[in-house]
Structure 1
Amino acid sequence: MTGKGAILPMFYLPPVEYFAQLNKHKTNFLIEGEEHLIKQTYRNRANIYSPDGVLAITVPVAKGAKVHTKIKDVKISYDFKWQRLHWLSLQNCYRRSSYFEFYEDELAPFYHNHFEYLFDYNDQLLRLLIKLLKLKVELNYTEEYMPEYLEMEDFRTNIDPRKESQFIQKPYFQLFEEKQGFLKNLSIVDLLFNHGPQALNYL
């Protein structure tokens, strides 16, 4: 790889910053596929804009998935109907947005079909989101785990819901902004449902 590339984790409905980095690095990035599970991160949660502000939606992982479990071995738990909850949350938050109906048929299967592994679920969702955004990128994956990459920007730990984002983001129209103001670095679906085909220009 030439130039300064990027290493990105595999997230669930990743935040806007994630796609800004994909768009910036285009062909010069790797998706981390060999790390261990890091809990309480975007690997299995996403932030969306509800009438009451930020709403975190989390994909539950099967019991026994510990921090030393390889990310590709982490199974999704279906002990409760989280898919129904997530889909209802997305509908309730975005049904009135300009483009929700435009994308809902392609997203719906992810909230009705069962997927065994978190990584595979996120991977297929990411591919769909890239397609919906019309983002011209190809996904390449790490082949081994490396603690650090000297020649690449490493986003595995710094895009994190527990940290204040350093991502500089210009505001865009959000459905409930009159109540809560502009909320930064939400899931890409917030941008997509509010701005549709213009989302790519924004990135």
Structure 2
Amino acid sequence: MKNKYSSVLFSSACLPPVEYFIYLVNSDKIWIENFETYHKQTYRSRYSIYGANGKLTLSIPVTKISGHNTCIKDIKISYLQNWQNIHWKSIESAYNSSPYFLFYRDELFPFFDKKFNFLIEYNHRILELLMELIGIKKEVNYTTDFQKRPLNIIDLRNKISPKNKISSFNFKPYHQVFENKSGFIPNLSIIDLLFNEGPNTENILIIDYLTNGKFEI
């Protein structure tokens, strides 16, 4: 088996993509950044699923108390619009006929019903749940200050981003509900893999790692 990563630093992420979990499941020590400046249009507050018309990106609306310089830990979730209902209906429509949606739906629904004050709390809690559902038994550590260039750690805070191309990745195809219409779409939110593959999710993440080796960082 190829060597795992040692310590890896991730950004906080909402329903992270498969790529995020490939690194996470194959890392010995996991760190999540709590003190960086919030970046919009990233996985910190958005995720993508496979809808009837192809890739569908959903975003959590937020309030930045200090404008563009707001720390991620201070970002509040906005409820001026009923985004939770919109997101959940989109997820139901996309995955209601997937093999494992009914198996996991009751675990995930509270995140689209209960109101969380801060985005980082929402992201932390849903990450812990996703790891539990997948069967990833690892401790998650959270930073206590911000370091622009941390030492002795693999920094993925801005590497895993919807703005970055992932053509170098060779994602293992798996069954997707609408693949007959639009083909296989890689690197969607981890819930796409979970709803379609269920207990086999962790195995696929490991196979993706073994197939690609240590990804370029």
Assess same fold via TM > 0.5.
yes
Match status 1:201 vs 2:203: yes
Structure 1 gaps, min length 5: none
Query: Residue in 1 aligned with 2:84?
Result: 83
- Structure-2 separation of matches of 1:103 and 1:29: 24
Opposite residue 32 of structure 1, the aligned amino acid is: E
How many angstroms does 1:63 deviate by? 5.2
Runs of 4+ in 1 over 6 A off after TM superposition: none
Are residue 184 (structure 1) and residue 186 (structure 2) matched? yes
- Distance in structure 1 (CA, Å) of the matches to 2:66 and 2:47: 19
SS in 1 for 2:62: coil
Shift of 1:149: 2.5
The one-character-per-residue Cα deviations of 1:6-60 (angstroms, maximum 9, x if unpaired) are 110110000011111111103x221111111011000000010011111000000
What per-residue deviation string (whole Å, max 9, x for no partner) do you get for residues 119-170 of structure 1? 0011100111011001111110111101112422211111111221243311
Aligned length: 200
More strand by share: 2
- SS across alignment from 2:129: helix
1:10-49 equivalences in 2 (<5 Å): 10-26=12-28, 28-49=29-50
The alignment's TM-score, normalised by the length of structure 1, stands at 0.94
Distance (whole Å) between structure 1 residues aligned to residue 183 and residue 64 of structure 2: 38
Q: CA deviation at 1:64?
A: 4.0
Distance across 1 between alignment mates of 2:127 and 2:84: 17
RMSD over aligned Cα, in angstroms?
1.3
* Equivalent position amino acid for 2:19 in 1: E
Partner of 2:163: 162
Gapped regions of structure 2 (runs ≥ 5): 206-217
Matched residue, 2:114: 113
- How does 1:64-79 map onto structure 2 within 5 Å? 64=65, 66-79=67-80
1:171 CA drift (Å): 1.1
1:139 equivalenced with 2:147 (yes/no): no
Q: TM-score, normalised by structure 2?
A: 0.89
Instruction: Give, in whole Å, the separation in 2 of the partners of 1:124 and 1:9.
Output: 14
State the percentage of identical aligned residues.
44
